[in-house]
Chains A and B, each alone.
Chain A
Amino acid sequence: MHDMSVHAGQHHAPPTSFIRKHVFSLDHKVIGKQYYALALVAAFIGMFLSWLMRIHLAWNNAAIPGLQLLSKTGAPGGVMTPEYYLQLMTMHGTIMVFFVLTTAPFAAFGNYFLPIQVGAEDMPFPRFNMMSFWVTFTAFLVLMSSFFLGDGPTLGGWTQYAPLNAVGSVAGPGQGLGVVLWMASIALFCVGQLLGSLNFITTTLDLRVKGLSLMRLPLSAWAWFITSCMGLTAFAVLMPACILAILDHVAGTSFFVASNLVINDQIQPHSGGSTLLWQHLFWFFGHPEVYIAIVPGMGIVSHVLLANMRKQMLSQRTLIYSMGALALLSYMVYGHHMFVSGMNPYSSLAFSFPTLVITIPSTIVVLIWTFSLYGSRLRINSASLFALGFISMFVSGGVSGFFLAQPSIDIMLHATYFVVGHFHLVMGVAAMFGIFAGTYFWFPKMTGRMMNETLGKAHFWLSFVGAYCIFMPFHYLGMAGNVRRYASFVDDYLQPLIPVHRFITVAALCTGAAQLIFLYNLIHSRFRGEAAADNPWEATSLEWSTATPPPFDNFGGKHPVVYHDPYQYGVQSSVGDYVMQASPEQVKSDNEEK
């Protein structure tokens, strides 16, 4: 093609050996797939753990056949002990938040598509990129290894509050080596994501091809860019926090342990540490982390919706600014996790108002998506269904934020199932729907084969209805005052709520089973799926201008030149109702950004 500028040389040579090609690969596309595979394995482990927890919550003293094989002390005779419940819960949360919701939408899809969407051959630091995955993978193995400890993994929850995270095994099973492994795993994970973020930021800023101004970047690329800026600052705070916690265990320091604590009638050999210090460090990371999980989903969903609406968003610029505003605000609001933590009550008010302000960019994003549907020619397929489902879930999970942003209401709802429902809908289910939308949309490009649409739609229906059946009742339980993180509900007050828990458990088992359809579709289509064209969705961004699957250097030794805004849909061109970013064809469009 005459419009491609000829490029001088390879960024790095294509590998020849199996190991350099598929294992220790420098290719961002292979690394993206490796992240996806890791997230897939982690997601199914996490889901399996949630099944065990749900069964235990609904039928408390029932033996789960075979569970004693997983842990003899954790489940004597198949009956789950309270500590084993908490250990599974901790691992579920950690696996899902870190190894699924951070890796899949951000590290997996971002790695694969960000360089292609900016027209680059690879990331600027391919070795860092490879290291990023393998460090993350090691982090996962370290976390998993704690399952094999004598007293099991840590039971402190994914937030690992101090001083339970620092006093050692005297505070309970898994609180010794289990915590150290958790902290080591997460510190490693942070290193992996810091390396990844560094690559994402430099890719976006330095490797854009000719004609691709920042405002011409697809929304997905913007989302990954914003996310990597958050990642660079958030993980940089969590990593030292984890290291300090490890020192409290192995070096006798007392960063997070106050003086004169008495556990099991033994006075603890620590003094002078601060309990709230951990909470501040953790949530300074923790709140941006929520947006690290959801913003890539917002980008992916916008990207998928645009190709299926066949028209532009009402304003792409407003979407970008809103995502940016969310990222900025995420650092000013973290204290809303700590309203009743014992921090100064005036701080609670100070954190409350920025939290309420978050409603504004969130509402703008939802309104732009929804009202962009107006007058569109919406195509319904698995990808667009999940993208639309994302909007519905994001709204449902978002409105409960109105409550939790207010300290006075938080007095009633803090640490109840209301919070569990809130974050599962908004950062769990919505983010998962973003991952699914991205998978159904990009699978053809990544593998050269189409996914099965019938199975995809079945997967969508069961997941959409199922997720609501699971997580809406959580809100009701929370409003009634059902406290979270309880291994069983022994209080008189909670007994009448157990039928609701049983309903949720049944819904969770069914919805989880529906994910096996997805797994089957993914594996089956990978090998037996219909062959995919280069641009099956008639989409516009650069990933669709190259071959399917893309060659080693993404564009066959050439650099594309960008002539258009990313989403020129609903125009008259020689190929149809769209014109690709890399096509020099002049079309009449009233939507081009100035």
Chain B
Amino acid sequence: MAKFFAVTIIVIAILSAIPILRHTWVAPEDISTHGALIDEQMSETMAEAGISFLAAQFVLAIFIWKFSNPGPDAKLKNFPGGAKGLVIAAILVVGVEVMALGIFGVKAWANVYLTPPSADALPIQVQAGQFAYYFRYAGADGKFGATHPEMINEGTQNIFGLDPEHDVDARDDIIAAEMAIPVNKEVHLLMHTKDVGHSFYVRELRVQQDFVPGLDVSLHFTATKVGKYEIVCTQLCGLGHYNMKAYLEVMSQPDFDNWLKQQAGQ
């Protein structure tokens, strides 16, 4: 029974590792300028976690195999080195390595969150609401019209609560349900939610950030590859949470300019 248990542990450990080693299920290819560091951090952590996982399971299995149901003449022994050796090993091998990972990881985090966006980044406002995203571009005047929460009306498609009748800035604002951005240009995303908490997650862009009701947060990134990607919500926001998504279209600069023109015409 014990030997079978030991084998089971080893088999499970190996089977668990196979999809990781074969990259059966991995994040989609990175299309951002900051993502490489995150991916690198991920694979280094995977190496360390994987080795710890396999080592711990193997040692456990070997000891179970070896020391279960011994004969009557088996002598009790203690692991040479005792607890002190193990504590030192835990601190030196696992502790220090994990801390080192953490310290290296600061750079990947800082890239996204601790650096300001460049001055010429394209500002786009995204407003999350139950259960869709809408995007706003400032239009020709480069100014966003003021928002008036009390004027928000999805029935008349006044998603942002703009008041074009009295507010000149709002008249040329472009509002879209999909997010188009030019490739290789930094985007400064101004994040606002009109109701509850939501999140902005684009796997390919290596970006995830919650929307905080009552607090506008911002994010900046640069996409490096033309294509169509999904933006999904990762913060439980109500019954339609599973269906809250939008598409991110990364376009060449001329395509993007055309897209803007076409949107402005509608």
Contact = CB atoms under 8 A, between A and B. Distances in A.
Is A–B contact present in the complex under a CB 8 A cutoff? yes
Interface of A: 81-83, 86, 155-157, 161-164, 167, 171-173, 175, 257-265, 267, 273-276, 310-311, 314-315, 318, 340-342, 345-346, 348-349, 352-353, 356-357, 359-360, 363-364, 366-368, 370-380, 385, 388, 391-392, 395-396, 399-400, 402-403, 405-409, 411-412, 414-416, 457, 464-465, 468, 472, 476-477, 479-481, 483-493, 497, 500, 570
Contact of B102 (A259, A318, A346, A356): A356
Contacts of A477: 25
B213 A375 contact: no
Contacts of B189: none
Contact of B240 (A82, A395, A406, A411): A82
Contacts of B60: 370, 373, 388, 391-392, 395
Contact of B208 (A162, A274, A314, A411): A411
Interface in B172-228: 194-197, 199, 201, 203, 206-215, 217
A400 to B, nearest CB: 7
B90 to A, nearest CB: 4
Given A367-B89, A388-B5, A412-B203, 6 more contacts: A261-B195, A275-B213, A275-B215, A371-B59, A385-B5, A403-B46
B210 A340 contact: yes
A58 to B, nearest CB: 15
A406 B8 contact: no
A86 B241 contact: yes
Contacts of A264: 130
A42 B264 CA distance: 57
A353 B87 contact: no
B41 interface: yes
Nearest to A493: B230
B232 A483 contact: yes
B17 to A, nearest CB: 10
B196 A367 contact: no
Interface in B65-117: 67-70, 74-79, 82-84, 86-87, 89-91, 94-95, 98-99, 101-102, 105-106, 108-109, 112-114
Contact of A315 (B76, B77, B83, B91): B83
B69 A378 contact: yes
A568 B108 CA distance: 51
A489 B90 contact: no
A367 B114 contact: no
A402 B242 contact: no
Given A274-B214, A345-B109, A414-B208, A480 B25 contact: yes
A459 to B, nearest CB: 14
A518 to B, nearest CB: 18
Nearest to A366: B56
Contacts of A310: 76
B28 interface: yes
Contacts of A366: 56
Contacts of B238: 83, 155, 164, 171-172, 175
Contact of A349 (B19, B74, B106): B106
Given A267-B149, A359-B98, A490-B243, A415 B234 contact: yes
Given A373-B63, A409-B45, A356 B101 contact: yes
Nearest to A278: B197
A261 B213 contact: yes
Q: What are the 6 closest A-B residue pairs judged by CB atoms, nearest first?
A: A258-B214, A375-B77, A315-B83, A408-B108, A345-B113, A83-B239
B7 interface: no
Contacts of B208: 340, 411-412, 414-415
A479 B25 contact: yes
Interface stretch (B137-145, B151-159, B163-171): B151-159
18 contacts: A82-B243, A167-B195, A171-B195, A262-B161, A359-B95, A359-B98, A360-B91, A367-B89, A368-B86, A370-B60, A374-B77, A378-B68, A402-B52, A406-B102, A411-B109, A414-B208, A415-B201, A416-B234
Given A378-B68, A388-B5, A408 B105 contact: yes
A379 B235 contact: no
B2 interface: yes
Given A262-B149, A352-B102, A411 B239 contact: no
Contacts of B42: 403, 409, 412
Residue of A156, A257, A375, A416 ringed by the most chain B CB atoms within 10 A? A375
B260 interface: no
Contact of A374 (B28, B63, B75, B106): B63
Given A364-B86, A364-B90, A367-B89, A570 B210 contact: no
B37 to A, nearest CB: 7
A297 B66 CA distance: 25
A261 B45 CA distance: 40
B122 interface: no
A157 B236 contact: yes
A82 to B, nearest CB: 5
Nearest to B203: A481
Contact of A378 (B2, B213, B232): B2
A395 B9 CA distance: 12
Contacts of A457: 1
Interface in B1-31: 1-2, 5, 8-9, 12, 16, 19-20, 24-28
B23 to A, nearest CB: 10
A375 B203 contact: no
A373 B90 contact: no
A593 B190 CA distance: 61
A45 B34 CA distance: 45
Interface string B22-62: 00111110000000011001100110111011001101100
B245 interface: yes
Given A340-B208, A411-B206, A465-B8, A263 B87 contact: no
A403 B52 CA distance: 13
B264 to A, nearest CB: 26
B239 to A, nearest CB: 4
B237 interface: yes
A389 to B, nearest CB: 9
A402 B102 CA distance: 9
B83 A483 contact: no
Contact of B212 (A276, A373, A406, A468): A276
A408 B41 contact: yes
Given A359-B95, A368-B86, A476 B242 contact: no
Contacts of B120: none
Contacts of B109: 345, 348-349, 406-408, 411
Nearest to B233: A483
B64 interface: yes
Contacts of A380: 1-2, 5, 68-69
Nearest to A86: B239
B86 A367 contact: yes
Nearest to B195: A263
Nearest to A352: B102
A388 B25 contact: no
B45 A403 contact: yes
A341 B2 contact: no
B76 A311 contact: yes
B80 to A, nearest CB: 9
